[in-house]
A and B are shown apart, each in its own frame.
Chain A
């Protein structure tokens, strides 16, 4: 019935015995294509777990190079990778972790001209970027292309995540209609970030991606998960759909992708 090698049966045995996954679910994962935008603090744990889980094709989009200040949390990258493109550094580790997983390196910065082509071949998109122009662009493109989007963000000791299924759930713009003015929200550089908070939120993104791919459990649909590491508490805020949302309503006012210019932002991943 399934076409697993002996090595695959051994590798995925802990998945295959799970009632919600099984041989069928594992086969589905091996046929799935997931795109991780940002190979940084969120992208590192997400990409590790997705690769280990046997996602058949994992795309990594990032145009940044490994910097020493990344190593505190971006655990795909090692000291010996300093200066290397993050996609190459990441692909090296992931290929060694699981040869079943094809890693596609997209060494680019997402913008309005390339994002629709970029996301087109993938089943699920994960946003692990570190700036608002990219977050709004990714949200809008996923709504236009009807691609499931797993969103997460981190700040100091806090994290947020939600899962967006265009046409069914609210999108990022339903909650936050416009990017904040430049300089209004402190960056990680200004505000700091506890490395493992990014790790937790990235692992949650990978979990949500697997749930969406296998259609199991209750993904964070219409719910914003808020994590407070200092209190060690998770809470969920129900988020409503905006009937007048500029991008995901029945009559969108945004019909072309927007490149918000916030020159101090990077295209790198958080």
Chain B
């Protein structure tokens, strides 16, 4: 099965769920948002939603800037 992942072609062995795809990519479901064919897949659907051949997938990461980095005692 061939999908487009973040703009690049990528092979997966068989049709898999979004959750299984994230596991294979070693990404935690709570660190990302997943878009399949320009629709956001809700997190509670990750275990159910099947990724199919030819799907265009965007995995969008939380990028916050990031928490306390200085003045730790404040």
| Residues of chain A whose beta carbon lies under 8 Å from any beta carbon of chain B | 38, 40-42, 64-65, 67-70, 128-132, 135, 153-155, 158-160, 174-177, 180-181, 184-191, 193, 224, 226, 235, 237-240, 242, 262, 264-266, 268, 270
Q: A175-B40, A190-B67, A237-B35 are in contact. Are A266 and B58 (CB under 8 A)?
A: no
For A160, what are the chain B residues with a Cβ–Cβ distance below 8 Å?
A: 60-61, 63
Residues of chain A contacted by B68 (CB below 8 angstroms): 131, 187, 189, 264-266
Verify B63–A158 contact, CB threshold 8 A. yes
Q: Which residues of A contact B42 (CB under 8 A)?
A: 177
Task: For the complex, give the distance between the alpha carbons of A64 and B68 in Å.
Answer: 11
Contact B65 A131 (CB under 8 A): yes
B40–A242 CB distance below 8 A: yes
Q: Which residues of B contact A155 (CB under 8 A)?
A: 61, 63-66
Additional A-B contact list (4), CB under 8 Å, known A235-B6, A238-B38: A153-B65, A226-B60, A264-B67, A266-B70
Collect the chain A residues with CB atoms within 8 Å of residue B31's CB: 180, 184-185
Q: Which residues on A sit within 8 Å (CB–CB) of B69?
A: 69, 130, 187-189, 266, 268, 270
Q: A180-B30, A235-B7, A240-B39 are in contact. Are A189 and B65 (CB under 8 A)?
A: no
**B 31-74 binary contact with A (CB < 8 Å = 1; else 0):** 10101001110110000000000000010111111111111101
**B residues bordering A, Cβ < 8 Å?**
6-7, 28, 30-31, 33, 35, 38-40, 42-43, 58, 60-72, 74
Q: Is the interface of B mostly helix, strand, loop or mixed?
A: loop
The one of B6, B43, B70 in contact with A189, judged by C-beta atoms closer than 8 angstroms, is: B70
Contact, CB under 8 Å: A240 / B71: no
- Nearest CB of chain A from residue B22's CB, rounded to whole Å: 14
- Give the distance in Å from the alpha carbon of A270 to the alpha carbon of B38 in the complex: 29
Bound Cα distance from A131 to B65, whole angstroms: 6
8 A-B pairs with C-beta separation under 8 A: A154-B65, A155-B66, A159-B63, A184-B28, A184-B62, A187-B69, A237-B60, A268-B70
Look across to chain A and name the residue whose beta carbon is closest to the beta carbon of B8.
A235
Q: A270 CA to B70 CA in the complex, in Å?
A: 11
B62 pairs with A176, CB closer than 8 A:
yes
**Shortest beta-carbon contacts, A-B, top 6:** A187-B67, A270-B65, A189-B69, A153-B63, A187-B66, A67-B70
Asked if A186 and B66 sit within 8 Å, CB to CB, the answer is yes
Knowing A65-B71, A189-B70, the reply to whether A129 touches B65 (Cβ < 8 A) is: yes
- When distances are taken between beta carbons in the complex, the residues of chain B under 8 Å from A132 are 62, 64
Given A185-B31, A237-B58, A240-B40, verify A41-B70 contact (CB < 8 Å): no
Q: Count chain A CB atoms within 10 A of each CB in B39, B58, B63, B71 and give the residue with the most.
A: B63
In the assembled complex, how far is the CB of residue B9 from the closest CB belonging to chain A, in whole angstroms?
A: 14
A135 to B65, CA, bound (A): 10
**CA of A217 to CA of B65 in the docked complex: distance in angstroms?**
27
